[in-house]
Structure 1
Amino acid sequence: AKIINISQRDLSDTEIKLLSKGLKFTPTPKGNKVDLIKDTEEFCRKLRLREFFQDNDYDDGSLVRNRSNFKPKTNRDKHLEDYINCLKSSASTNQNNQNIKDNISRSERSAIENLSNDATIVIKEADKGGAICIMDREHYKKMVMEQLNDRNFYHELTSPEDARTMNKIKKFTSVYADSLTDKEIDYLNNFEMKSSNFYGLPKIHKSKEIQHGIQAKNATYVKLPQPGDLKFRPIVAGPACPTHRLSNLLDIILKPLCKLVPSYIRDDIDFLNYIPDSVDANTKLISFDVTSLYTNIPHDVGMESITYWIEKHRDEIPSRFTKDFIIDGLKLVLENNHFFFDNKYFLQIKGTAMGTKVAPTYATLFMGYLEEKLFSRTEDVFDANFGNCIRKNWKRYLDDCFIFWNRSLDDLNKFHDLLNGLHTSIQFTMEQSEKELPFLDILIIKEDNRITTDLFYKSTDTHQYLIFSSCHPSHTKRNIPFNLARRICTIVSDQHRREKRLKELKSFLLKQNYPVNLIDAATNRAKEIPLPELREKSRRNTNSHKIIPFVTTHNPRNKNVFKTAKTCLPILHQSDNLRSLINQQDIINSRRQPPN
């Protein structure tokens, strides 16, 4: 099911048709010449900066900084001014694509307004699988408030704390002024602040009532009574909250330590490189999952864990960032995680918010610290060889853990008890199999001694890929079939299964109206890439500093000024200086997505 309606509101056929396009679907916007002119002026400013600073990259060592608004003086180079005038003239002329066909009907546009203005419902994407869930607003608020009323994790505030927290950050940057550059201090203190917002994503994959209803009806749209077993994943969205920039800086500082945690895997593709081709016949596949990791990390043990990794790998962190700087900064982020929900203000008193930038790094290092205790205790309870074996073969991505198990079930249960004894707040659930077991998006399959891998889909996965008619840049839509096919070729090791998955993918994409020739070309291109190349870590472009992106909001009704930027480049290259500073390939087209 793509749409699950557990509200009392009935949806019209038009509303169902609209929602079935997915929440990422973008209707064709009206032409917006004002935004285009503004974006063109910003690109021209970048050109002037390149001419002003030449190729001299001044670097004061700042890890973060506010975006500069510096504008060099005009008329420093006649050919640059001629080129800029050409671009501005192109942007200011009337839109040349007024006859672009709308990608939704008038009735669907009315449906957008009706759904947006209906205060009785809440529409959220499911926590996993991509389904859309419609809920009664009052019921949704009641369910979320049940979580927020848990005094072990949250405390209600009488008023907003944002201004007070900003003052704490200003004091922090003053105390640690010697650790920070002027640009970093400016970045942490000067920005447009906005309070964090709390919301819950419905965990429909864990609701037996919803799953039973979906299976019984087997349709794109399913209307069900309110389930009594639906839970929500708590999200604190604070992209402009007082601590979000400090959290980002701390994440940059601490992230290099993650790769030094023995169990660390970067993602599911990285995990593939640790999977053996064969195992002993008696080997079992075991996975563990930490229950609600983010909200259960105690602040004191979290600080212990960060201190442990800093002291163990001091050379991985720039010397100007002292241990006290990092610990005090983290305390600021963790102890000031306040947000609002339904016009009420709350403070999270335990754990870390899922929405803050440093959270995954913090959780990884915390778990790595507990694992050091695990390795030691495993040696004590079992033996040194087994302790070393666990250290080498135990792999984890945040709260998901996996191991190939060669010992008895009694030993496995003892090991599970060891895990649950590491800290009272951190408890592990376990799954085991002798044949196949999912881990992240990978299904690990054991056939006799042979290990193969397949793509794993949860039962709630709707395969709700972006519909081809959505108003997204064409390169975005062209890349979707290739990226999905490449993922299949990377993960699925057996050729027969791989072909089956690629055929499935083709059927999913055809339902989303992707052209068959685009799908076939993308699939063939992905199949030609050797497996070692598919599974190697992607490399960064070392020449990215030379790139001058022309960033515009994608709008098919607007003039294509980027095309003008390319065709008029000979005007710019009449300048000997600029010919050497700005090459054809340096100017790239970058599109931001219009609001959907």
Structure 2
Amino acid sequence: MGLYTHHKSNTKQNHTKHDRSTLTDLKNDDDLIVKRSDKCKGLVLLEKSEYVHKTETIVNDYQPIDKNPTKKLDVETSDLITETLAGKLPDKIIHALKPNESRTAELYGLPKTHKPGNPMRPIVSACGDPVDKLSWFLERIITQLLILVPAHLTNTYDYLQHLSTRFPSGLPPGAIAFTVDVNNLYGNIPTAEAIEATIAMLRTHSSKVNLYGLTIPDVKKLLEHCLENNYVRFGTKYYKQTQGIAMGSRIAPPLAILFMNAVETRILASDRLQPALYLRYIDDIFGIWTHGSQNLDEYIQFINSFHPCLKFSFERTDLSSQRQIPFLDTLITVEPSGAYTTELYVKPSAAPILLHFDSSHPMQTKRSLIHSQSLRAVRLGSDKAAQDRGLQKITDIFISSGYPIKLIRNIQNAIRYKNKQSQKKKSSPNITYISLPYIDETLTRKVNAAVKSSDLDIRVAWKSGPTLSNQLTSSALQPPDCPRGCRKTCSTCEGGLKGRCHTKNVVYEIKCKMCGDTYIGKTKRMVRTRFMEHLGDARNKRKGTDLGDHILTAHPTAQPMNTDFEISILHRCKDEANLLITESIEIRNKKPALNKNTSSWRLLHPVPYTSSYAH
């Protein structure tokens, strides 16, 4: 940590003062809103009124709720967890699964810039909502079932392996490759059917699944609770999603896979001609048809009328002028003879955006990105010509992102000619990975050298600062209401954080308005919770605490009020290491008079971080 404390970076920023001012103006413009594009990367600038109108057309299908349901759902979820898990899991785990200082899930839209009119795809940011941790626990149970789903694909390479294994010498002459996209699968899943499909799989394969001490009825009860309480907030209004599963819920993908398995099992068991190969990645289906075009037309009509909630869109090589169709990130070409090739596919609508060469990331990250993307192009190419086409697509993207052509070629040549058969080195099972903020290459080399000389089995993952997307986008249309509500006074809102008192994972600064001295601290909890603890220390002149000792020493006759202190957020952080490092740097730079503990956090030989409260 001392390396961070004493390091002075000479790296120039890659945006000017005018750029930063423009970004600040854009962020503060209440008439505009910035969102990530749904599938085409990049950012989309919208008039706020247009964004609200398009997203409100989505919530029109939801059930309006009169008031914030979060507090009530917190209690109901905690009671259910106690009732269901008591005696089956350790008390520590049960306590960790209970909601604490929850927030309402936020509904937002991502513009589909690849479609006319740029409609919105509804997404739910459910992190920290009352059933979030319970959903995480259930996900760990039901994802064990996915390897038992015959059609399930884990990734593109799994798809290619199935294809080459089933047809090692090419497809039968006249074979047709087809793809199927399930229209709005998450939004159309009947939750009751999804639960029943999951429970049926659990009963069938109970000996292969770790239920962590629960019974199958327990799992069903917990699933029903999570799926029947899909509450979201949009703006100042609250809604309940009554149809489908929220895209953004932790359990949405495995439930969708298991629901589709139940549907496709009945389809594939029907007494009619069937595909020679049938594979699926969540809602994207790939198949090989060997019974002629007319029979495929009839099969498409059959499955499109099979389930009242599901509709499908098809692509097929026999209707393509070049006999090509994409699936996942691969383009397959099928000849009339049955010969086929595969290669890397990049959507025409996708912006050629990767990590820019001038971005504030370690050089090793940029080299690794070139390597991974180029290796992907080679692995997806079924022959040298296909691999060359894929590598050229990757090269063009990196060149447009500012990378030197020599660097790109050197890495690609190492993949193609030197390390073609190289095995990936196995990692030691005892390695400890730590995440540290990236500042510049000089500091990176120093930290890596310190880690290496420590003889500890440690690897550093470098994390860069906030991106433009982090700075300009937000899932919430506007900040949540203060947890205390409009009828009570919130000391944190009055102390300088109006509309932000609910923020978590922050480094903050408290100023004593009686003398101007400051204190810098950190907290993973809501900042209002920690600030109220500090105010209690000051009011009660609690010995052994930073603010309590300050009042006893500097203002012994004062009767401090909440209004005698103000608070500001200096930084938001993502994890404990970032909190500790950022707090140490701010203490070093600002030298706050009220901090008694000013020592740095020791990276390689951690010591307890002393404080009057567990932060």
TM-score (norm 1): 0.72
Amino acid at match of 1:255: T
Distance 1:114 1:289 in 2: 41
Q: Which residue of 2 aligns with 1:118?
A: 29
Alpha-carbon offset, residue 486 of structure 1:
0.7
Name the CA distance, whole Å, in 1 between partners of 2:447 and 2:414.
28
Tell me which residue corresponds to 1:590.
461
Tell me the residue number matched to 1:281.
Answer: 173
Would the aligned equivalents of 1:488 and 1:502 in 2 still touch at CA under 8 Å?
Answer: yes
**Per chain length, whose mean CA-contact separation is higher, i.e. which structure has more relative contact order (CA < 8 Å, sep 6+)?**
1
Q: Which amino acid aligns with 1:511?
A: S
Change (3 A) 1:559 1:506: closer
Report deviation, 1:164. 1.6
Alignment match of 2:333 (pick from 433, 445, 449): 445
Q: Which segment is superposed worse, 559-568 or 352-361?
A: 559-568
Instruction: Give the Cα–Cα distance (whole angstroms) in 1 for the partners of residues 311 and 43 of structure 2.
Output: 31
Note the alpha carbon deviations across 1:515-538, whole angstroms, 9 max, x for none. Answer: 33321222123224888889xxx9
Q: Which of 502, 507, 514 pairs up with 2:396? A: 507
Contact 1:446 1:452 in 2 (8 A): yes
Match of 2:343 in 1: 454
What does residue 366 of structure 1 align with? 259
Could you tell me which runs of 5 or more consecutive residues in structure 2 were left unpaired when the two chains were aligned: 468-615
Q: Please say if residues 550 and 562 of structure 1, whose CA atoms lie closer than 8 Å, have aligned partners that are also in contact.
A: no
- Amino acid of the structure 1 residue aligned with 2:158: D
| The structure with more helix, counted as a fraction of residues | 1
Please give the alpha-carbon distance, in whole angstroms, between the structure 2 residues aligned to 1:331 and 1:558. Answer: 53
CA displacement 1:364-402 (0-9 Å, x = unmatched)? 00100111111222xx2x2xxx55xx4x72101111111
DSSP-derived class of the 1:134 partner: strand
Post-superposition offset of 1:301: 0.8
Contact 1:173 1:180 in 2 (8 A): no
Q: Distance in 2 between matches of 1:480 and 1:241?
A: 34
Structure 1 residue 192: deviation in Å? 4.3
Q: CA deviation at 1:144?
A: 0.5
Q: Which runs of 5+ in 1 are unaligned?
A: 1-39, 41-88, 208-228, 570-582
Q: 1:258 matched to which residue of 2?
A: 146
- 1:478-532 Cα offsets, whole Å, 9 max, x none, are 2111111011001121312321332232232122111333212221232248888
Establish whether residue 108 from structure 1 lines up as the match of residue 19 from structure 2.
Answer: yes
1:593 deviates by: 2.8
The Cα of 1:540 is off from its aligned counterpart by: 8.2
Percentage identity across paired residues of the two chains: 26
Q: Tell me the CA shift for residue 91 of structure 1.
A: 4.5
- The answer for the alignment partner of 2:369 in structure 1 is 480
Aligned partner of 1:403 among 274, 279, 287: 287
Give me the whole-angstrom Cα distance separating, in 2, the residues matched to 1:532 and 1:313.
38
8 Å contact kept, 1:373–1:422: no
Q: Does 1:430 find its partner at 2:314? A: yes
CA distance in 2, matches of 1:303, 1:419: 22
Answer whether contact 2:317 2:334 (CA < 8 A) is retained: no
Distance 1:528 1:181 in 2: 54
Cα pair 2:352 2:400 within 8 Å, conserved? no
Match of 1:127 in 2: 38
Q: Classify the secondary structure of the residue corresponding to 2:123.
A: strand
* Equivalent residue in structure 2 for 1:140, among 37, 51, 58: 51
The SS at the match of 2:347 is coil
- Which position in structure 2 is the counterpart of 1:415? 299
Matches of 1:354 and 1:563 in 2, distance apart?
Answer: 40
* Matched position secondary structure for 1:265: coil
Alpha-carbon distance in structure 1 between the residues aligned to 2:75 and 2:57: 32
How far off is 1:556 after superposition?
A: 2.7
Q: Secondary structure at the match of 2:107?
A: strand
Structure 1: distance between partners of 2:421 and 2:162: 13
Taking the aligned partners of 1:567 and 1:533, their CA distance within structure 2 comes to 25
Alpha-carbon shift at residue 360 of structure 1 (Å): 0.7
1:248 Cα shift?
A: 1.2
Tell me the matched-pair count.
Answer: 455
1:567 shift after superposition: 6.2
8 Å Cα contact 2:98/2:134 also seen in 1: no
Instruction: Quickly say closer, same or farther: Cα 1:184–1:417, change in 2 above 3 A.
Output: farther
Within 5 A, what are the aligned runs for 1:150-299?
A: 150=61, 154-176=62-84, 177-189=86-98, 191-207=100-116, 229-275=117-163, 276=167, 277-299=169-191
Q: CA 1:530–1:297 in 2, change beyond 3 Å: closer, same or farther?
A: farther
Query: Which amino acid in the other structure matches residue 100 of structure 1?
Result: T
Q: Residues 119-168 of structure 1: CA distance to partner in whole angstroms, max 9, x if unpaired? A: 11122221112143211110110011011102xxx111111111122212
